[in-house]
Structures are given as C-alpha cells and as structure tokens.
C-alpha cells in the first residue's frame, strides 16, 4: 500500500501496511530520541524506573520506548530537579524514546483524595495528605521540564459506570483542558502532545470527543477511560466507537491495557501503542505471563518443577532458570525472583508484539490470533489466563 505519513512537529508516523484480514496497522513512529515499529507495548517506569529492571536489561529485550508518571515525579524528586539533570533521558540513563502521562489517571485512581473543578483538580498527597493542585497548565509545565518525547493532555479519567449526563460534562471539560494544554505547551518543536479521547461506554460521546480533538490537530491521539472496571466486551466497544474518527496518518495509543488477548484485540481494532503496569505488578506477586496463560509460580505444584516458565520463550529467564528455583526465590522474598519474572513478563509482551507485527505484514493476523488463543485459553491446568 502507499505509505501514509504525518510529517508535522517532533513526531512523525508512517503507516506502512494494513493487514488484509483485519485492517490492523503496521507502522513506524519517529521521535527525537529514536524510532520504533508499531504496534508496540511500552513498559511502565512510574518513578523513572521500570520496577526491578535496569535500562540495560530493557534494551536486551528490545524495549524501544518506556513511560514515566507525571504526578509521581512531580512529587518526587520534582520536575525542576529532573530538568537540572538534563531531562528524564539523562536522569534515568535511558536514551530511547520516553512518554509521560499527564496525571489525569490519578484523577481516577485517587478519587477519594481529590476534588475536580473547572480550573483543575485539588488532590491530597497520597503519602502525607498535604494539599496539591494540578491544572492543565501545571501538567504541561511539569512534562515540559521532564522532557519526554511524547506527552499527554491533562484529562479526567471518569470511573465506570457513570451516567451519560455526567460523561458529557466530563468530556466537555476535558476538551477545554486539552485546548488549554495546547496553549501552555512550551516545547512543541521538541515534544509531541497527544490528545486523549474520553466518552466512556457511549458511542456518541466517543465520536464527539474524537472529532473535537482532531479539530485541534494533535500529533497523536490516546484512547482513555479503558481498564477502569468495565468488561472486556465493553472495552472493545469503546475502541470501536473511537478509532474510525481518528486520522490514519497519526498514532493511536490505548492507555492502560496489557493482557495478551487484549493487545491482539486492540491491534485488530486499529491501535498502535499500548502500556500497562500489569507485567511487572503481577511478577512481583509471583505470576508469570506465558503462551498458555498465567502461571502462578509461587504455587506448591511448582516446588520440584525443573522446567522454564514458558517452554516456547527465549528470554534470559527461561533460558537459564527453572520454575522451582524462581519459586524458591519468591518464597524467600529474594528480589532476584521478582526481577526474573518481571524480565520474562515484559519480554513476553514485547515479543508478542513483534509476532503481531510480522502477522500484519503477512496479512495473517486473524490466523495468528486463532493459533495463539487456542493454546492460550485451553492448554493449561489450575491456572487462569489473563
């Protein structure tokens, strides 16, 4: 197919192929700190570190872009300190692309400690209860100082479910905040600011939000308000309600999704970028993400299991260590066990996306999904697939 390319600002996106079976997109995103192929999964490094793993380890698993959390870095160590260090890339020794969220998700996750107003959001510091205030302007200023390649508009991430009336008012406010964020953005030639589509489960509001944001001409678009308590079926509808109204020549980012089946379904529905804390969070509790589903390696059934976490995985963990050894480490509260499972889980998702990209280019993504899900759903015992 003819390449579709967006060449505006610090970020460019090339749509290089669409799968004939599904319409899924294979492309490339170019940023000031390098390029990456899409679809892609992005590891989350909330406090300028992907928990338990070094930047060098992330490079060995071919991670191409990671995330950092604006709200948490705003509180510690502070955006000014990161700026003085030369920005996040220098501060954390990661010289590939970085994306920062806006703090908008904390409007949802800290709902018991915040009050939403037109000007912004009053928070209570989750650590000590001290009063805080975040506005679109403050969020963008913090992200300008952090210096990520891709930054996010400040938005409200509403809970699920809410009424249509509540969601309409929320979407309108988020659109006003998006416009304010655009005006406040001090580094538009160095950092690409994405708009965030909201609208909950309501098709008309998803369309309305997307169309209004497209009129503002952001370099890319995120789909927010997913993974907040809705069913998988509802989440898939949210995506379907949104992507038809987003431009083909700009990247599409689904926020907070990291289960293997959800990644495949998101790609089929036109998504290019994903992130989630899931792989490292469940790893710290002894759960491995594998080609046959979830392996709770802390279970006693693995006490004498001298096989790798996943027989089909080529990662460092699976090539060198057994379930029995990893279980021993986890039961002994040794951090090396958490590191080994975290490495495997991230490798698993990053490699899954590589296989998805290959399937798109071969026009065989539906075939790939069928083969993957047959094994993922059925060939496991005593486990729950993600």
Residues marked as catalytic: 101, 275
Measured CA to CA in angstroms, residue 220 lies from 4, 101, 103, 132, 335 at distances of 14, 13, 18, 29, 38
């Amino acid at each position: 197919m003819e390449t579709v390319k967006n060449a505006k600002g610090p970020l460019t996106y090339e749509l290089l192929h669409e799968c004939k079976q599904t319409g899924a997109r294979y492309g490339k995103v170019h940023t000031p700190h390098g390029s990456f192929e899409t679809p892609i999964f992005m590891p989350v490094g909330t406090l300028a570190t992907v928990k338990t793993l070094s930047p060098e380890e992330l490079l060995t698993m071919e991670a191409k872009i990671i995330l950092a959390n604006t709200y948490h870095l705003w509180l510690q160590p502070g955006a000014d300190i990161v700026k003085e260090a030369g920005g996040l890339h220098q501060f954390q020794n990661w010289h590939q692309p970085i994306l920062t969220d806006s703090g908008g998700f904390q409007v949802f996750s800290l709902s018991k400690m915040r009050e939403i107003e037109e000007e912004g959001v009053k928070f209570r510091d989750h650590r000590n209860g001290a009063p805080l205030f975040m506005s679109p302007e403050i969020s963008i200023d913090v992200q300008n100082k952090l210096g990520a390649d891709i930054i996010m508009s400040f938005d409200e991430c509403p809970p699920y479910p809410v009424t249509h009336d509540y969601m309409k008012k929320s979407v309108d406010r988020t659109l006003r905040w998006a416009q304010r964020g655009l005006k406040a953005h001090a580094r538009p030639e160095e950092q690409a600011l994405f708009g965030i589509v909201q609208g909950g489960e309501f098709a008309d509001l998803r369309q309305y939000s997307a169309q209004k944001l497209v009129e503002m001409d952001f370099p890319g678009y995120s789909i927010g308000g997913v993974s907040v308590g809705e069913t998988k079926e509802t989440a898939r509808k949210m995506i379907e309600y949104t992507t038809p109204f987003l431009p083909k020549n700009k990247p599409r980012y689904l926020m907070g999704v990291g289960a293997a089946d959800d990644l495949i379904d998101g790609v089929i529905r036109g998504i290019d970028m994903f992130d989630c804390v899931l792989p490292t969070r469940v790893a710290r509790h002894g759960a491995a993400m594998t080609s046959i589903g979830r392996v709770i390696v802390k279970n006693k059934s693995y006490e004498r299991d001298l096989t790798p976490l996943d027989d089909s995985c080529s990662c460092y963990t699976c090539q060198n260590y057994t379930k029995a050894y990893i279980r021993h480490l986890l039961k002994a509260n040794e951090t090396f066990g958490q590191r080994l499972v975290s490495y495997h889980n991230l490798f698993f998702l990053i490699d899954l996306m590589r296989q998805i990209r290959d399937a798109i280019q071969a026009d065989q993504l539906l075939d790939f999904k069928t083969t993957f899900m047959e094994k993922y759903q059925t060939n496991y015992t005593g486990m729950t697939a993600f």
